[in-house]
Amino acid sequence: MSSFIERYRNQLLIHFIVLIWGFTGILGKLIELSSGAIVFFRMLIAFCSLGAFLLIQKKTKLPNLKQAIQYILVGFIIALHWAFFFEALHVSTVSVTLACIASTSLFVSLIEPLFFRRRVDFTEVFFGLLVIAGLFMIFNFETEYRLGIIYSLIAAFAAAIFGTINGLFIRTGKAKQITLYEMLGGVIGISIYLYWTEGSSFLEFPSGADWIYLLILGIVCTAFAFVISVEVMKSLSPFTVSISINMEPIYAILLALVFFGDDEYMSMGFYAGAFLILLTVMANGILKSPRGKRILNRIRSGNQ
Q: Give the angle 37-222-25 at the CA atoms, nearest 5°.
A: 65
How far the first Cα of the chain sits from its last, in Å, is: 45
Query: If you count DSSP H runs as helices and E runs as strands, how many of each does the chain have, helices first?
Result: 14, 0
Q: Give the angle 173-80-84 at the CA atoms, nearest 5°.
A: 135
pLDDT, tens only, 253-271: 778 777 777 666 667 777 7
Which pLDDT score, from 0 to 100, does residue 167 have? 76
pLDDT, tens only, 29-43: 889 888 888 999 999
Q: Which residues contact 63 (CB under 8 A, 6 or more apart)?
A: 71, 173, 177, 178, 181
Type of residue found at 146? R
DSSP 8-state symbol, 248: H
pLDDT, tens only, 112-166: 777 767 676 677 677 777 777 777 777 776 678 889 989 999 998 998 888 888 8
CA 279, 285, 290, 291: dihedral to nearest 10 degrees?
0
- Report the alpha-carbon distance of residue 265 to residue 271 in Å, rounded: 10
Q: What is the CA radius of gyration of the chain?
A: 20
- Report the alpha-carbon distance of residue 205 to residue 201 in Å, rounded: 10
> pLDDT band at 202, cuts 50/70/90?
low
> pLDDT band at 106, cuts 50/70/90?
confident
Is a pLDDT exceeding 70 seen at residue 245?
Answer: no
pTM score = 0.79
